[in-house]
């Protein structure tokens, strides 16, 4: 709809889409019209202590809701309301986060100042990025790959010259996560294995795939296990580990009789050097100890009979107990 204050006596409305003749919607001593920020059209009324308003300007005919005394004035109105956009220019603002994590795609935008002929020019302060450190557009995106503090700059061209704004952004490192153990993750029936993260700083939040939030997780079944951690800066990292099933039936008899068969106690199916071993006789006296077992115990100097072993994995802390019979 187009509204015209005509001849100081009437307001006419024309429907530009239909091309119909203008309709008189109000009469009186009217001057200039101006659209307000509330989308009403305000009307100057000569020698009155009020301003009129068209309250529903998108409605056809008298339904446009003309109100003669819409706003009461402390003085007298004449014929003038500004017939141009009188909203002052807003200053240029750089919109973007202040604190992010490495690898996050970040959106920046420029707001406020009207750009005359070109889009805003950006400098992300990321010299290691090469060509992507500079771009033109609004909004724009950038991804920082190294932790540091960067100076972001945006520049726009205006009729009075270039205007620029800067903002600092801190890019935080991701947590360094390594799920432990990384060595023997075999799990025998009836045993358990404790998983935990590599050392983390205070304030770290833990979340395992089952929703538990303890720094460690004890598992009794083979499968894939995942841990996500979040550091004090809000950056996250994940790691996972596969715990495999293994038949752990160690031999329970050796015959060190010099025939080159079954001479020593061998940890079949295990990487022996990852285990320390203690062997005890039937009275509980330790007769053998080796920090990194080499599958060499042959009960040398011991009598035939039952012996009991205790295995401890140096990486996982898992222990295995059992017995072995020595036949000579």
Q: How confident is the model at residue 302 (pLDDT cuts 50, 70, 90)?
A: very high
In the numeric block, which tokens belong to residue 314? 């140096």
DSSP bridge partners of 228: 207, 238
* Cα separation of the two ends of the chain: 111
Find the angle CA(187)-CA(313)-CA(191) to the nearest 5 degrees: 30
* 93-172: CATH topology: Immunoglobulin-like (2.60.40)
Long-range CB contacts (< 8 A, 24+ apart) of 297-304? 297/264, 297/265, 298/254, 298/256, 298/263, 298/264, 298/265, 299/254, 299/256, 299/265, 299/326, 299/328, 300/256, 302/326, 303/328, 304/328
CATH number of 253-326: 2.60.40
Tens of pLDDT, residue by residue over 205-229, are 999 999 999 999 998 888 899 999 9
Res 47 pLDDT > 90 = no
Res 296 pLDDT > 90 = yes
Q: Mean pLDDT throughout 311-327?
A: 85
Q: How confident is the model at residue 116 (pLDDT cuts 50, 70, 90)?
A: very low
Matching CATH topology for 179-245 and 253-326?
yes
SS3 286: strand
The class that CATH gives domain 179-245 is: mainly beta
Please say whether the beta carbons of 167 and 225 come within 8 A.
no
320: left (phi over 0), alpha (psi -120 to 50) or beta: beta
- Which letter, b or e, does each residue of 110-133 get, where b requires 16 or more Cβ atoms within 10 Å of its Cβ? beebeeeeeebbbbbbbeebeeee
Q: Mean pLDDT throughout 250-273?
A: 86
Residue 135's Cβ-side half-sphere holds a number of Cα atoms within 13 Å equal to 18
DSSP bridge partners of 73: none
Percentage of the chain with pLDDT > 70? 93
Tens of pLDDT, residue by residue over 160-197, are 788 899 999 999 999 999 998 876 677 776 677 889 99
Q: What are phi and psi of 292, to 5 degrees?
A: -125, 100
pLDDT top residue among 251 and 124: 124
- For the chain, the domains span 2-77, 93-172, 179-245, 253-326
Write down the pLDDT at residue 177.
93
Tell me the pLDDT of the chain averaged across its residues.
Answer: 88
Strands (DSSP E) along 124-178, which ranges? 134-136, 140-143, 148-158, 161-172
**Cβ-proximal residues to 212 (8 Å cutoff; 6+ apart), any chain:** none
Give the DSSP letter string of 222-246: -EEEEEEEE-TTS-EEEEEEEEEE-
Length of the chain equals 328
Q: What are phi and psi of 224, to 5 degrees?
A: -95, 130
Tens of pLDDT, residue by residue over 71-97, are 999 988 887 787 665 555 678 889 999
d(CA 280, CA 297): 12
Tens of pLDDT, residue by residue over 35-46, are 887 889 999 988
């Amino acid at each position: 709809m187009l509204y015209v204050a005509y001849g100081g006596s009437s307001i006419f409305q024309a429907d530009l889409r239909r091309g119909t003749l203008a309709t008189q919607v109000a009469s009186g001593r009217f001057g200039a019209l101006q659209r307000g920020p509330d989308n009403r059209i305000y009307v100057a009324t000569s020698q009155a202590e009020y301003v009129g308003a068209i309250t529903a300007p998108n409605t056809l005919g008298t339904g446009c809701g003309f109100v003669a005394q819409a706003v009461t004035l402390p003085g007298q109105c004449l014929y003038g309301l500004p017939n141009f956009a009188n909203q002052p220019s807003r200053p240029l603002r750089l919109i973007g986060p202040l604190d992010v994590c490495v690898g996050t795609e970040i959106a920046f935008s420029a707001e406020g100042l009207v750009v005359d002929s070109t889009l805003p020019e950006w400098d992300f302060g990321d010299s290691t990025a090469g060509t992507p450190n500079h771009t033109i557009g609004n909004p724009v995106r950038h991804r920082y790959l190294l932790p540091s503090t960067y100076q972001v700059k945006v520049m726009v061209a205006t009729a009075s010259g270039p205007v620029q704004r800067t903002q600092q952004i801190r890019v935080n490192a991701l947590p360094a996560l390594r799920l432990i153990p990384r060595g023997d993750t075999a799990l025998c029936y009836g045993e358990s294995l404790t998983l935990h993260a590599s050392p983390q700083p205070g304030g770290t939040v833990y979340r395992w795939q089952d929703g538990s939030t303890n720094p460690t997780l004890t598992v009794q079944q083979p499968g894939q296990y995942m841990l996500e951690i979040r550091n004090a800066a809000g950056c996250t990292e994940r790691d996972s580990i596969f715990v495999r099933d293994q038949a752990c039936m160690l031999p329970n008899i050796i015959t060190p009789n010099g025939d080159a068969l079954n001479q020593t106690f061998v940890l079949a199916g295990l990487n022996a050097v990852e285990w320390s071993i203690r062997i005890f006789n039937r009275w509980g006296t330790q007769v053998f100890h080796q920090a990194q077992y080499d599958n060499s115990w042959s009960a040398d100097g011991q009598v035939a009979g039952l012996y009991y072993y205790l295995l401890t994995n140096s990486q996982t802390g898992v222990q295995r107990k059992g017995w072995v019979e020595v036949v000579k």
